[in-house]
């Protein structure tokens, strides 16, 4: 009994395999033919891309304004800023809402040093004023005392008018010396006042610069808490290498954009076209767009701009040129960074005759031909091609059934259309 079951199973499996092979063989035969078609034929350049907003507002980190730009001295050095915290990408915000927090550590240390220097400047000014007050007070006492000496010398001279001439002369000399000493002390006092004022102003200048630096640092650090300049959806900024700026990323002082608030009413599809095909792309060409997130939807667009300079993208050796395509109309479901498929329509032919490119064969003489179901080997004059099909300018009529792949016995097929060889060679 067991042996009979095994034999029955083998027979059944063999029968199933024979049936499968026959079905497969029929499918292969069915799939090896196609008909020559006539209708709309498009030459296209197809590439993937991503959506970006045509217009957007940049959310920037604080700017370091140098002293020459503001008419005052600054002692702040430009350093990279680290994003300590940022709201999730896609967050809807209103004007003034919190966006991000930058790391204050480096500039907080700078502020601490500036505050210490400011205390020193304040102390220097106070000491200079105090020292000046003492020094000038002493000089004023000297002048006052000298005036008394002049008065005494004047009295002595007046009292010596009855004295011998020599005594009178001595009194006159003493008065003259006293007066000249008084004038010297007055001039010395004036010079000392000017000197001390210059020194005080010099110290006050340092103090003023220190105060401005502290104020600027405090204002600067207050801007480390980033808020939304307007309402919108937060989209992270991408670096040149395509990496998004997020928590932990650094912001260059010369590129301070942390995130953007895109205007979602007008969207662009940013596409990169290789250097071989970019010459075909022109502004104004129509584009068929699909969005991976919404495969059931189809969009239309128009080529707006084409980059003049190519760039090498990651994982690509060829130069790629950025092409911006404006998406027609408005759809609220579209968001920046969504992946798109873009078919740029280079040229359109109406009522064109075309076949799949894989149907075309060629011998050593490079003369193209196809195998027809009527057992003929038809020479064809071909035109332009797209990703799948090629135009047939001469040699085939619409509806003709041809082989997709070469038949099993191609030697049994009769060559026809030899009159087209001269036309083909003229084009080669």
What sign does the dihedral 163-169-174-175 (CA atoms) show?
A: positive
pLDDT in tens, 395-425: 999 999 999 999 989 999 999 999 999 999 8
Nearest CA to 404 out of 347, 366, 364, 356 is that of 356
Q: What is the mean pLDDT of the chain?
A: 85
Residue 8, pLDDT > 50, answer no
24-75 per-position pLDDT tens digit = 444 444 448 999 999 999 999 999 999 999 999 999 988 865 544 443 444 4
Which of the 8 DSSP states describes residue 237?
Answer: P
Taking the C-alpha atoms of residue 335 and residue 236, their distance in angstroms, rounded to an integer, is 13
pTM for this entry: 0.60
Residue recorded with tokens 């085939």:
396
* Domain range 349-427, CATH architecture: Beta Barrel (2.40)
CA–CA distances in Å: residue 418 to residues 157, 368, 391, 409, 428: 146, 11, 19, 21, 16
Architecture of the domain made up of 56-102+227-262: Beta Barrel (2.40)
Q: 212 near 67, Cβ under 8 Å?
A: no
Using alpha carbons, select from 89, 88, 87, 83 the residue that is nearest to residue 101: 83
The verdict on domain 46-55+265-348 having CATH code 2.30.110.10 is no
pLDDT digits (tens, 9 = 90+) for 362-406: 988 899 999 999 999 999 999 999 889 999 999 999 999 999 999
E strands present in 307-380: 311-312, 319-327, 339-356, 361-362, 368-371, 376-379
Domain ranges of the chain: 46-55+265-348, 56-102+227-262, 104-223, 349-427
**Does residue 178 register a pLDDT over 60?**
yes
Q: Which of 64-73, 155-164, 341-350, 366-375 has the lowest mean pLDDT?
A: 64-73
pLDDT-derived band of residue 142, with 50, 70 and 90 as boundaries? confident
């Amino acid at each position: 009994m067991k042996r009979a079951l095994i034999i029955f199973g083998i027979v059944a499996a063999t029968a199933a395999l024979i049936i499968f092979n026959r079905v497969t063989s029929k499918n292969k035969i069915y799939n090896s033919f196609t008909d020559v078609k006539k209708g709309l034929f498009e030459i296209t350049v197809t590439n993937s891309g991503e959506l970006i907003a045509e217009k957007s507002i940049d959310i920037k980190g604080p700017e370091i304004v140098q002293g020459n730009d503001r008419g005052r001295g600054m002692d702040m050095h430009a350093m990279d800023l680290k994003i300590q915290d940022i709201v999730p990408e896609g967050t809807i915000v209103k004007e003034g809402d919190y966006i991000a927090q930058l790391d204050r550590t480096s500039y907080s240390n700078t502020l601490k040093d500036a505050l210490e220097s400011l205390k020193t400047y304040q102390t220097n000014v106070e000491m200079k004023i105090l020292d000046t007050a003492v020094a000038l007070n002493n000089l004023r006492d000297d002048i006052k005392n000298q005036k008394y000496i002049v008065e005494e010398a004047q009295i002595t001279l007046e009292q010596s008018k009855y004295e011998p001439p020599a005594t009178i002369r001595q009194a006159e000399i003493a008065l003259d010396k006293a007066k000249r000493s008084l004038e010297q002390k007055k001039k010395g006092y004036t010079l000392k006042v000017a000197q001390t004022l210059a020194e005080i102003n010099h110290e006050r200048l340092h103090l003023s610069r220190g105060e401005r630096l502290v104020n600027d640092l405090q204002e600067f650090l207050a801007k480390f808490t980033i808020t939304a300049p307007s309402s919108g959806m937060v989209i992270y900024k991408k670096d040149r290498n395509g990496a998004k700026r997020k928590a932990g990323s650094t912001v260059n002082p010369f590129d301070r954009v942390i995130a953007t608030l895109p205007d979602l009413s007008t969207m662009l599809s940013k596409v990169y076209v290789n250097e071989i095909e970019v010459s075909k792309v022109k502004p104004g060409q129509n584009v068929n767009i699909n969005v991976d997130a919404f495969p059931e939807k189809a969009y239309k667009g128009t080529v707006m701009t084409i980059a003049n300079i190519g760039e090498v993208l990651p994982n690509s050796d060829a130069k790629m040129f950025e092409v911006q395509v404006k998406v027609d109309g408005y759809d609220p479901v579209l968001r920046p960074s969504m992946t798109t498929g873009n078919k740029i329509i280079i040229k359109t032919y109406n009522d064109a005759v075309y076949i799949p490119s894989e149907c075309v064969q060629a011998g050593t003489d490079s003369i193209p031909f196809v195998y027809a179901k009527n057992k003929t080997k038809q020479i064809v004059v071909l035109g332009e091609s797209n990703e799948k099909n090629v135009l047939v300018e001469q040699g085939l009529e619409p509806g003709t059934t041809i082989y997709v792949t070469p038949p099993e016995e191609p030697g049994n097929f009769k060559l026809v259309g030899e009159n087209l060889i001269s036309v083909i060679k003229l084009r080669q």
